[in-house]
Amino acid sequence: MTWFQWLLFALGCERFLSSWEMRPGGLTGADGTWIAALAVIVLCLAVFGRREGPERYASIHWLILAGTAPFATAGAGGMGDWPGNAALAFVTGWWLFAWLAVDGMVRAREGMSQRVKALLVPFAFGLSLLALWELTVTGLGISPILLPAPSAIWVTISTSLPILWTDFKETFLQGVLAGYAIGCIAGFMVAIAIDRSPFLQRGLLPIGNLAAALPIVGIAPIMVKWFGFGWESKAGVVVLMTFFPMLVNTVAGLAAADRMQRDLMRTYAASYPQTLIKLRLPAAAPFIFNALKINSTLALIGAIVAEFFGSPTQGMGFRINTEAGKMALDMVWAEIAVAALAGSAFYGAVTLIEKAATFWHPSQRRRG
Amino acid sequence: MSWLTRSALPVAVVLAAIVALWYAGSVVMNISWEVDQAKRAGIEVGEPAPDGFTDTWFPRFSRVILNPDLVPGTMTQERPVLPTPGQVWHEIWNTSFGILADCEVETTEEGWELSSACGRFFTSKRSLVYHAGVTLSATLLGFGMGIVLGILIAVGITHNRAMDMSVMPWVIASQTIPILAVAPMIIVVLNAVGLQGLIPKAMISMYLSFFPVVVGMVKGLRSPDALQLDQMRTWNASRWQVFWKLRWPASMPFLFASMKVAIAISLVGAIVGELPTGARAGIGARLLVGDQFGDILKTWGALIFAAFMGAALVALVGLAQRIVLRRSGGASA
């Protein structure tokens, strides 16, 4: 075992022993005994199971995990009546175990291809995080006003799909997409426009770099005053947030084609537009896609922030704001889940397009 | 001299152009109110469409051309649609250094007088400098925590294959969560645990700023090439030694590059974190108060001040980068 595993083992033992002491009657009660036994088994398996060749036992790990999870949540009050530290030891041990299961999956040499693994491993890890969340919230009896369980959030999502859809339409399909398109195109156009003037480039680049780092989100209340509560104000914030990253990256990208390639274009007697379209824009593509990716997450944040300062009676930011005020956190988390999903999908879509468009670039080639 | 003409002059020209455009924008945006006021006072004004008063772009431009005598008024309005740079500058100056501070009334034989320490100074709690200080402390704390967290995750990712495969997608996914949505909840949850004020805001800053550090440091810690790693192996270096003597120094340029992004984003996080806290103090609170009371100058003052602050913070990190990299042999990313 490495020192790291020893540390985890020691931590687990400490948790367990202190749970023993904390319990009023020691561990004499029947429930206390089997809870403690379970915690010990989980911890021991988690730590020592690894020595037995984790790759062979990954599936057994998962079986044990699935088998033990209901113990915590099922029954009256779940772990609510457990001594505090036993519950904590169980949750900690359980997740440690889950981590080793993920580790075993990674080390497994047979059974699945690398591509499947690359998809399955993050998925399994995310699943274990969700389960940890569920176990902690339901098991330790955390108030839903503080942190709702994933299952409760899921119920809210499935029962209020129409609301979520109208909010999504209002914020994402109108504010985000319009602002993203306008901001990115404007940044790109300005970069092309100043391409032939080194003077303007030298002047605009430091300012653009600076502006890309500024808290532009603060412009939201002003935009709402100017453009009202509709999608225009959201789009306005998004335009300003996305403009500068696009400008700076495009200008940097247009300088990326190297000297030899440009000289070759000149020997072909290529005109400026030809060089731009056939050499420099393709060479700039990785930079432009980088900006598109940065902007895809910025845009959603900008639109939601804008809605905090005023929006029609729908929209993701509006809903989050009002539901948080009503302490209906399951609805808030449902909106967050939708936003995260939309953001990830947006980012993923841009990445896919990038892969298709810049397949020739070293960063896109398969790693050896 | 060449530095002046190569970088300072272009930047100055572009800045001057921006300021000029800003002034022009102020005139166009604010003209309608002036025209309306003049009409109400019974003064003859030129109107593009005398029947109806619409406040869109075309009538605005026409009003400026038709009423050149009303233009000076557009730059001194109390509640302009778009304040001029001069107005914003005055607002920043007045609310930073122009507020009475340390004032106590002392009774004397002749009547009363103000205490000797009393003066217009930035120590007042109503001063923008005080609010900036509140935001700055949350920014720096969150920045520090974000760097530590980011480096720890990056070290884990580079040294553990399971973490490499499983953690990174979730780190990216974490950034697609709109932070403002999480901010009120972080504040409520931490309040239940007994944490108030600085820490929740710093947590939001940390949430935003750890991401560029993770991305940069993973790249940086992996930047030593196979030749260098082989060299370490021929010296029989332990993992620990490889880390401290090769990977860590090699990652410095990457760390500083991501720190520049992280500190800017950390400031955004602190400002956003101040919005839902009930707006007691800080730049975010000033933005919100200015918005709620229709005091547009206050909002602009806070915004531009925050912009200067962000620029200064990024410049400071850049300075630290130059010093550290020069001392360690002048490597650059």
Indicate whether this complex's ipTM tops 0.95. no
Instruction: Give the model's confidence band at B176: pLDDT under 50 very low, under 70 low, under 90 confident, else very high.
Output: confident
Residues B148, B27 share a domain: no
Nearest chain B residue to A117, by CA: B165
Residue B100 lies in a domain: no
Contact of B286 with chain A, judged by CB distance below 8 Å, is answered with no
Q: What is the distance between the alpha carbons of residues B30 and B36, in angstroms, rounded to a whole number?
A: 10
Best CA proximity match to A189, nearest among A281, A308, A57, A271: A281
pLDDT of the residue at A229: 83
Judging contacts by C-beta atoms under 8 Å, the chain A residues touching residue B172 are 344, 347
Q: pLDDT of B134-158, one tens digit each?
A: 899 999 999 999 999 999 999 999 9
Residue A316 buriedness (CB in 10 A; 0-12 / 13-18 / 19+): buried
Q: Which of B80, B109, B139 is the last residue of a domain?
A: B80
Q: Which residue of B has its CA nearest to A218?
A: B303
**Burial label, A220 (beta-carbon count in 10 A; 0-12, 13-18, 19+):** buried
Average pLDDT, integer, range B293-315: 86
Nearest to B232 by CA among B223, B241, B221: B241
Judge if B73 and B161 occupy the same domain: no
> Could you tell me if A321 and A314 are in contact, meaning their C-beta atoms sit under 8 angstroms apart?
no
Q: What is the pTM of this model?
A: 0.78
Q: In chain A, what residues touch B288 (CB-CB under 8 Å)?
A: 221
- Rounded to whole angstroms, the Cα distance separating B59 from B57 reads 6
Inside any domain, residue B94: no
Statement: residue B9 has pLDDT above 80: yes
B307 assigned to some structural domain: yes
Judge whether A324 is closer than 8 Å to chain B, CB to CB.
yes
Give me the residues of A, 276-305, that contact B with CB < 8 A: 297, 300-301, 304-305
The beta strand positions in chain B, using DSSP E, are 100-101, 105-107, 112-114, 119-120
**Does B152 fall in a domain?**
yes
Q: Does B72 fall in a domain?
A: yes
Residues B294 and B196 grouped into a single domain = yes
B296 and B191 within one domain: yes
Cβ B178–A332 below 8 Å, yes or no? no
- The rounded mean pLDDT for chain B is 82
Q: Is B289 touching A (CB cutoff 8 A)?
A: no
Q: What's residue B94's pLDDT?
A: 82
Interface probe, candidates B2, B166, B190, B219, chain A, greatest A C-beta count within 10 A? B166
Per residue of chain A (368 residues), what is the pLDDT tens digit? 455 555 666 666 655 555 554 444 444 444 555 555 566 666 666 555 554 454 555 555 666 666 555 555 544 344 555 555 566 666 776 777 677 777 777 776 666 677 777 777 888 888 888 888 887 777 677 777 778 888 889 999 999 899 999 889 888 888 899 999 999 999 999 999 988 888 888 888 888 877 777 777 778 888 888 888 888 888 999 998 899 889 988 988 888 888 899 899 999 999 999 999 989 998 888 889 988 988 888 888 888 888 887 777 788 888 888 887 788 888 888 988 898 888 888 988 998 998 888 777 776 665 54
B267 and B147 within one domain: yes
Note whether residue B135 is domain-resident: yes
Report the C-alpha gap between B262 and B316 in whole angstroms: 13
**Across the interface, which of A124, A309, A329 has its CB nearest the CB of B291?**
A309
By C-alpha distance, which of A37, A205, A71, A62 is closest to A121?
A62
Q: Does B138 touch chain A (CB under 8 A)?
A: no
- DSSP-derived 3-state class of residue B119: strand
Give the gap in angstroms from C-alpha B109 to the nearest C-alpha of chain A: 51
Residue A152 near chain B (CB below 8 Å)? no
Record: contact A340-B176, CB cut-off 8 A: yes
Contact A102 B162 (CB under 8 A): yes
* Best of A214, A225, A297, A320 to mutate (most B CBs within 10 Å, chain B): A214
Total domains in chain B come to 2
pLDDT, tens digit, 9 for 90 and up, residues B79-108: 888 888 888 888 888 887 766 666 667 777
Three-class secondary structure of residue A250 per DSSP: helix
Check if the beta carbon of residue A250 is closer than 8 Å to that of residue A311: no
Question: What are φ and ψ of residue A147, in 5° steps?
Answer: -150, 105
Please count the residue pairs, one from chain A and one from chain B, whose beta carbons lie less than 8 angstroms apart.
159
Q: In angstroms, how far apart are the furthest CA atoms of chain B? A: 92
Distance (Å, whole) CA A113 – CA A100:
20
Closest CB to B178: pick one of A121, A145, A339.
A339
Cβ contact A225–B81 (<8 Å): yes
A271 in helix, strand or coil?
coil
For residue B331, give the DSSP letter: -
Whether A340 sits inside 8 A of B306 (CB atoms) is no
CA dihedral for A311, A317, A319, A322, sign (positive or negative): negative
Q: Are strands B105-107 and B100-101 parallel, antiparallel or unpaired?
A: unpaired
Indicate if B177 and B58 belong to the same structural domain.
no
Q: What is the pLDDT of residues B19-78, one digit of tens each?
A: 999 888 888 888 888 888 888 887 777 777 666 667 777 778 888 888 777 778 788 887
Amino acid in position A216:
I
Pair B135, B260 in one domain: yes
Residue of B nearest to A300 (CA): B178
- Residue B42 and residue B164 share a domain: no
Please report the pLDDT score of residue A169 as a whole number. 87
Cβ neighbour number for residue A263 with a 10 Å cutoff: 10
- Does residue B178 sit in the same domain as residue B310? yes
Q: Does the beta-carbon distance from B178 to A103 stay under 8 Å?
A: no
Q: Which residues in chain A have Cβ-Cβ distances shorter than 8 Å to B176?
A: 297, 300, 339-340, 342-344, 346-347
My answer on whether B67 and B139 are in the same domain is no
CB-count burial class (<10 Å; 0-12, 13-18, 19+) for B18: middle
Burial class of A58 by CB neighbour count within 10 A (0 to 12, 13 to 18, 19+)? buried
77-116 of B, contacting A, C-beta below 8 A: 81
Q: Shortest CB distance from B178 goes to which of A213, A304, A346?
A: A304
Q: Which domain holds residue B30?
A: 2-80
- Look at residue B110 and tell me if it is in a domain: no
A41 CA: distance to closest CA in chain B (Å) = 23
Task: Mark which of B80, B115, B147 sits at the end of a domain.
Answer: B80
For residue A319, give the nearest of A202, A156, A199, A134 by alpha carbon: A156
Chain B interface includes A210 (CB < 8 A)? yes
CA angle B110, B111, B117 (to 5 degrees): 100
Per-residue pLDDT tens over the stretch B213-245: 998 899 889 888 889 999 999 999 998 999 998
Secondary structure letter of residue A196 according to DSSP = T
**Contact between B188 and A146 using a beta-carbon 8 Å cutoff:** yes
Q: Does B21 touch chain A (CB under 8 A)?
A: no
A contact residues 95-124, partner B, Cβ 8 Å cutoff: 99, 102-103, 105-107, 117-118, 121-122, 124
Nearest partner of B83 among B260, B258, B303, judged by Cα: B303
* Cα-trace Rg, chain B: 27
Better-predicted residue by pLDDT, B271 or A64? B271
Spelled out in words, what is the top-level CATH class assigned to the domain A157-364?
A: mainly alpha
Same domain, B143 and B273: yes
Return the residue of A nearest to B193 by Cα.
A146
